[in-house]
Structure 1
Amino acid sequence: MLNCRACLWRCLQALDVPSTNAHRLRRNVNPLLEQGQRRLLSTVVRTVDTKPVYRNKVEQLSKHREEPWQKSAVAANQKKRERAVLRQRPAPGVAETPNLSRLSKRDPSLSVSEWERRKKELRYLQDPVELAGFVRKELGKDKVTEMVQLVRMASQSMQCVVSWNHIIDHYLAKERVNDALKVYNEMKKRAQFPDSYTYTILLRGLSINAHTSGVLSKALSVYHSLYAPNSRVEPSIIHTNAALRVCARALDMDALWGVAGKIPETGRGAANEVTYITIINAMRQSLLINAPKGETEEEAAARKERGIMEGRRMWEGIVNRWRNADMIIDEELVCAMGRLLLIGSRPRDWDDVLSLVEQTMDIPRLLPRLGSPGRQEAPLPHLRASYVSKQQRFDDDHLAPGKPPKRGDEFLALTPQGVGSAVSNPLSYAQPGNNTLSVVQEACQKIAASKAAREYWDLLTDPTTYNITPDLNNLHMRLRNLRQNRASAAAVKLLQEDLVGKGFEPRPGTFRIAMSTCVRDKNNHNSLKHASQILNLMSKTLEDVDAKAVSMFAELAGAFPLAKASDLIDALTVLRPIAQNIRLQLGVGGQQKYGNGVGAVYLKGEAREDAIIALRKIHGVYDRLLFSNLVAEEQKPPFKKERAILSSFIQRIMYKSGRKWEGAKDAQDKGMASEEVDLHGYLNDEAEGDVVKAARGKSGNGPWRKYWETPGDVRA
């Protein structure tokens, strides 16, 4: 029985002896057992032991991989040879990648080194996506020539249209139109057929280079090739919009209408909001810029009238598509139509802008419509602009075939379509923004509705309603409305709180608009004080004062009808450091900046002429103070001295420019002594030193500051 392995195994399982009795089991085994049975027993004994013990040290070293062979130089040499075999490259002429196997002979225009470099790059660019990413990355490093060589070689083994598109886009961004078109033609010759993105990139790139000669004809050629019978790409509205943009920037309305005539009414290529925005803006630019030479005001008004009527008819189609949910109306489209109406010559066109905003943005009109009973009762002028021709001052009520709707009905507010009140309005109104705020303010300025302008401003900027944060252009339009209303105090408040107070950086034009508001409000006794505040704000905000704003202030002070001695002295107090700043800009110490890099900007050209005019008008303020009875004679010498310094400087500047100023002669005719005016432009060192020191901030408040700080009849 024990000669059978299975029987022996069952016997051992039945014994179930502990590990301590294993040696007894080994003694009782018949020595006649076969060798295989002994090995089985040996295995069982080792399995029963708690910890296996290695039979020899060699096995232990092998288990831990610490045998001497692995540390020998022979093993290291074999490992080195193994790595060398793995890194071994194929022999010359043997290609291991599919794209290199299809590579043709080297182009003679490429050197051997360049050819080998491109081959090395292609070896690791097997996928067109990887190739396109690599090309785009290298084009960012301006490696155009290398990438053109690489894409040419890759075109022999794969379709790499995207890489060609990247090269065309790079050329167009660098204003290299001819090179982009050459690449476009070359890719077709290499069986790399352009896709839809190729034409989009090409047409958009031509639109941003519309200033280049011949771009329009090239763009039209590319666009019309999409309609060829053998074209592989179906034209979309994206291609049409890009082509329209090229025509609009080239101001070629004939080409624009030719492209627009191919737009289908429905389907994939139907017009969208971008199409209408491009066309309306092109119409507006054409009406403003493409005016025939020698055109009269009546002819210009009639030409604008035809363009606006065309835009009105187009808007009817836009609204119909909007009601049918075939397109979306956004703020840019609304403002484009509004600005087209604002260039018209009829008051109805200007008034319809508010109706347009109500129709598309659901913002209620804050002013009754023109011609309505409520508008007739409102205290508003019927006309504002004097250049409106008599034929266009009123709506044309002539009879027409078919009795068409009245002008302005295309901008009436829309009502929900359906029966009863259960049907909701499906219209998606546009969201107003800064562009809308500017358009509404300009419309209110055109129709002279100052109250409505203020109400619209409060409504659109209110955080609880539309919460529009005004930008610099909005604030400029608001200032223009305040100027029209002669609200100088409101202009100063707007500058202090909404402009400078909110961190805006005003421009010189900002202060010109605000200063012109005070000039229009000259009959207000506080207007000169408001102008002084604007001038002080400009001095603190701008690095160098604006000469035109200074001229307006000096003109206001010189012609102020309610001026007193204190008003003129306060005006000269503000003007004196400003005049010193202008002198630095004109050349007294200002031709070169100081050693620390700080100094006035040297004026040239028209800006220089404006600065000279500003100084002359400041000189006029001195004249009004000195040649009047507002101050006593014994208090005039300090002002005469400052006037003489200014007069001398003006003479010097005029002499250098080859002109002659008669200000000194006029002063002598008015009774001043000849020694009070330096006709040769030379002053004593003390007076000149005071001016230069004051201009550089080293002198005090001037030699005559004490005269308006002391009480008495000077301030009375």
Structure 2
Amino acid sequence: MTGEKTSRKLRHAVKKHLEHMHNSFTIAKHVERTLRKNPERFEETLLLVQTASKDHGCTVAWNHLIDHQLQSQRLRAAVRLFNDMKKRSQRPDAHTYTVLFRGFALSPHRELAVAEAVRLFRGMRRQPGVKPNIIHLNAVLHVCARAGDIDTMFALVDEVLHDGADGGRSAANKKDKLVPTAQTYTAILQGLRSWALAPEADAEGSSSPADVDGRTEEMVEHSRAVWEEVLRSWRGGSLALDEQLAGAMGRNLLLDKKTGPRDVLVLLEQTMGIPRFDTQGSTRTKTKPDQETDNNQPPPPAASKSRKKAASEPAKPGLNTLSLVLATLAEMRFVTAAVKYWDYLVRDRGVEPDDKLWEQMIRLLHLGRSSAETARLLATAPPTVQSPYLFRTALSACFRDLRNPNVVDNASTIVDVMLRGAGAGVGESGGHRVPDAKALWMYLEVPQRRARVEASLNGNNATETGVDVGQSVELVNRVWEPYCRASKAALFPQLVEARNPRLIKNAKMYGAVCEVVELARELLSLTAHIARAGYKIDTKTRRVMEKRRDSFNREVVIFTELREELEDMWGKKEEESDVKEPTRE
């Protein structure tokens, strides 16, 4: 009874809506708006479109319904809608098939998605009506690529792009032959990569390293063969090369550990005119498209026709290119070259790195123990990409560069950047307002570790902090105000005054408090060192340091008393490493 009542209400609502909709455009707009704002009203919109289909051509509205089901990971339901659409004499258009194919690529049921995509595509070729275009083919190839089904992918390529199933004998087949674009080759290369990275399991449910290596070698060989075809088309002016295609080939080459990394840099020089900075004596002279960049694979000669000339122009580098370069140079451990590539792409070619690329670059500099370049580059980072993780990684690079006599100055530069960003009043989505307590602790550690390393190099034994009183005073004064801000943001002063653990509402807050306490302990150690040598400083400074020492000591003692109860509430705070280590050390 309840279902019948709901059905009556739906029909009544649909009838009322249709009284105000007199054409397919208003119906489609209503369906799109309703599904976007109230997806739970899908059944109502479906009934509305089914009812309106009796009097109107509602192809666009059906497209919205199908797309909604695919975005919701309901592949079978989307196919049923497509069939229902045709049964109601609603003719699918070219966009209907594009929606289907692109939606199939999102499905977790990849084998089913490939089967349905290929079935529909071949049906388009055989049946009258909408004929497949290159956008449809690229979308189907992307479905195969996501599934790593290279057999089906290459079968479709041979069928459509080459001679076809009948060897290219029929006139219809020649007429329907499609011209591949950069997106076509990108999908093929991505499919090869997916296949190589997700090998089939053996009988025992796992794959041996030899099987993985064999697939990788085969994938690289196939990729090089595809790339030869790309170069022929590019040189002939029939293919416009883009960053995505060059990047896909570069990612495939990078899996070849022997020659792949250098081949990637040759590829970028060839396709984008990016000069080589990984070789001795390299300069920053830009490579022109008509200059030979590699003995075996020169760039395309200047084309005579304007269309061909435009097609054979070098691709424009972007974020994907910079990420590929950094990954390649990390594999080669060429940190100095990475800095040159970064400067060239950012300053000369106008690439604007996002936060992930900044993190990738700082990790690479951390790998190369380059605190000076880390400080220099970080000083140019916009507030929108600055994050606690970025500063921790940068200061961790200082930990790895303690033999550098300028490492303390480099750490100071990094902290200056953090404090400028914290005091700039930037929004929540652009930087951070509160100084990071963990980064401040790392900053205080740098001069102490440097002093111990220096003493060790000189054959001396460094004790306590290892820094002199004057430097300790300078460090405490420098960190005092940021410490107060970080402490206040973590509610640490309130916790100390109230001695009430229930002020800490979740594990994240407890973690922030623990980081502030570690910083307080470090400052307590420094102020205690200053107090023991108070005769070396003036009376006013000594009293200030003693007052701060007592404050740090009180806060640490009270936290220690509350710690057991806090750990019972939120679990023991695990010790974290200073930075996520790069994949290769």
Same fold by TM (over 0.5)?
yes
Match of 1:258 in 2: 152
Structure 2 unpaired stretches of 5+: 163-175, 283-292, 423-431, 455-465, 497-502, 537-541, 574-585
Q: In structure 2, how many angstroms separate the alpha carbons of the residues matched to 1:285 and 1:546? A: 39
Inter-CA distance 411–140: structure 2 relative to 1 (3 Å threshold): farther
Match of 1:564 in 2: 467
Are residues 1:549 and 2:445 paired?
no
Shift of 1:438: 3.5
Are residues 1:121 and 2:18 paired?
yes
Are residues 1:308 and 2:220 paired?
yes
Aligned AA for 1:220?
A
Match of 1:85 in 2: none
> Which one of the candidate residues 540, 544, 553 is aligned to 1:644?
553
Q: In structure 2, how many angstroms separate the alpha carbons of the residues matched to 1:137 and 1:626? A: 66
Shift of 1:511: 1.2
Q: Considering only CA atoms, is the larger Rg found in Structure 1 or Structure 2? A: 1
Aligned AA for 1:559?
R
Inter-CA distance 649–246: structure 2 relative to 1 (3 Å threshold): farther
CA displacement, residues 660-698 of structure 1 (integer Å, 9 cap, x when unaligned):
99xxxxxxxxxxxxxxxxxxxxxxxxxxxxxxxxxxxxx
Match of 2:521 in 1: 619
Inter-CA distance 108–240: structure 2 relative to 1 (3 Å threshold): farther
Are residues 1:201 and 2:99 paired?
yes
Structure number with greater CO (CA < 8 Å, separation at least 6) is: 2
Match of 1:517 in 2: 397
Assess if the C-alpha contact under 8 Å between 2:371 and 2:394 holds in 1: yes
Match of 1:96 in 2: none
1:30-45 mapped onto 2 (5 Å cutoff) = none
Structure 1 unpaired stretches of 5+: 1-106, 369-374, 379-407, 593-599, 662-716
Assess if the C-alpha contact under 8 Å between 2:369 and 2:397 holds in 1: yes
Match of 1:277 in 2: 186
1:414-493 mapped onto 2 (5 Å cutoff) = 414=299, 416=301, 427-462=312-347, 466-493=349-376
Inter-CA distance 610–349: structure 2 relative to 1 (3 Å threshold): farther
Aligned AA for 1:355?
V
Aligned AA for 2:338?
A
Assess if the C-alpha contact under 8 Å between 1:486 and 1:520 holds in 2: yes
CA displacement, residues 204-245 of structure 1 (integer Å, 9 cap, x when unaligned):
23434x35xx46515632431332455754444433433344
Q: In structure 1, how many angstroms separate the alpha carbons of the residues matched to 2:248 and 2:494? A: 45
Match of 1:243 in 2: 140
TM-score by length of 1: 0.57
Inter-CA distance 476–206: structure 2 relative to 1 (3 Å threshold): same
Q: In structure 1, how many angstroms separate the alpha carbons of the residues matched to 2:370 and 2:13? A: 76
Inter-CA distance 633–124: structure 2 relative to 1 (3 Å threshold): closer
Shift of 1:352: 1.6
Assess if the C-alpha contact under 8 Å between 2:185 and 2:245 holds in 1: yes
Aligned AA for 2:313?
S
Q: How many equivalent residue pairs?
A: 496
Q: In structure 2, how many angstroms separate the alpha carbons of the residues matched to 1:311 and 1:289? A: 16
CA displacement, residues 168-220 of structure 1 (integer Å, 9 cap, x when unaligned):
23444455655534422321222324333222112223434x35xx4651563
Shift of 1:418: 10
Q: In structure 2, how many angstroms separate the alpha carbons of the residues matched to 1:296 and 1:522? A: 42
Q: In structure 2, how many angstroms separate the alpha carbons of the residues matched to 1:289 and 1:139? A: 36
1:168-183 mapped onto 2 (5 Å cutoff) = 168-173=66-71, 179-183=77-81
Tell me the percent identity: 25
Inter-CA distance 159–638: structure 2 relative to 1 (3 Å threshold): closer
Match of 1:189 in 2: 87
Q: In structure 2, how many angstroms separate the alpha carbons of the residues matched to 1:611 and 1:537? A: 23
Aligned AA for 1:509?
Y
Aligned AA for 1:243?
V
Q: In structure 1, how many angstroms separate the alpha carbons of the residues matched to 2:200 and 2:504? A: 38
**RMSD value, Cα:** 4.7
Are residues 1:327 and 2:239 paired?
yes
Match of 2:581 in 1: none
1:93-172 mapped onto 2 (5 Å cutoff) = 111=8, 114=11, 118=15, 121=18, 125=22, 128=24, 132=28, 135-136=31-32, 142=38, 144-172=42-70
Inter-CA distance 237–650: structure 2 relative to 1 (3 Å threshold): farther
Shift of 1:414: 2.7
Deviates more, 1:267-276 or 1:289-298: 289-298
Inter-CA distance 608–325: structure 2 relative to 1 (3 Å threshold): farther
Shift of 1:531: 1.8
Q: In structure 1, how many angstroms separate the alpha carbons of the residues matched to 2:310 and 2:141? A: 33
Inter-CA distance 601–570: structure 2 relative to 1 (3 Å threshold): farther
Q: In structure 2, how many angstroms separate the alpha carbons of the residues matched to 1:335 and 1:455? A: 20
Aligned AA for 1:354?
L
Shift of 1:355: 0.7
CA displacement, residues 367-407 of structure 1 (integer Å, 9 cap, x when unaligned):
44xxxxxx5x89xxxxxxxxxxxxxxxxxxxxxxxxxxxxx
Q: In structure 2, how many angstroms separate the alpha carbons of the residues matched to 1:341 and 1:546? A: 39
Aligned AA for 1:202?
L
Q: In structure 1, how many angstroms separate the alpha carbons of the residues matched to 2:491 and 2:20? A: 66
TM-score by length of 2: 0.68
Assess if the C-alpha contact under 8 Å between 2:46 and 2:65 holds in 1: yes
1:627-706 mapped onto 2 (5 Å cutoff) = 631=533, 641-642=550-551, 644-652=553-561, 654-656=563-565, 657=567
Assess if the C-alpha contact under 8 Å between 1:488 and 1:518 holds in 2: yes
Q: In structure 2, how many angstroms separate the alpha carbons of the residues matched to 1:355 and 1:485? A: 23
> Which one of the candidate residues 342, 354, 362 is aligned to 2:265?
354
Are residues 1:318 and 2:220 paired?
no
Match of 2:377 in 1: 494
Assess if the C-alpha contact under 8 Å between 1:223 and 1:239 holds in 2: no
Are residues 1:526 and 2:421 paired?
no
Inter-CA distance 612–112: structure 2 relative to 1 (3 Å threshold): closer
Inter-CA distance 652–557: structure 2 relative to 1 (3 Å threshold): farther
Shift of 1:430: 1.0
Assess if the C-alpha contact under 8 Å between 2:10 and 2:44 holds in 1: no
Aligned AA for 2:161?
E
Shift of 1:262: 0.9
Assess if the C-alpha contact under 8 Å between 2:490 and 2:512 holds in 1: no
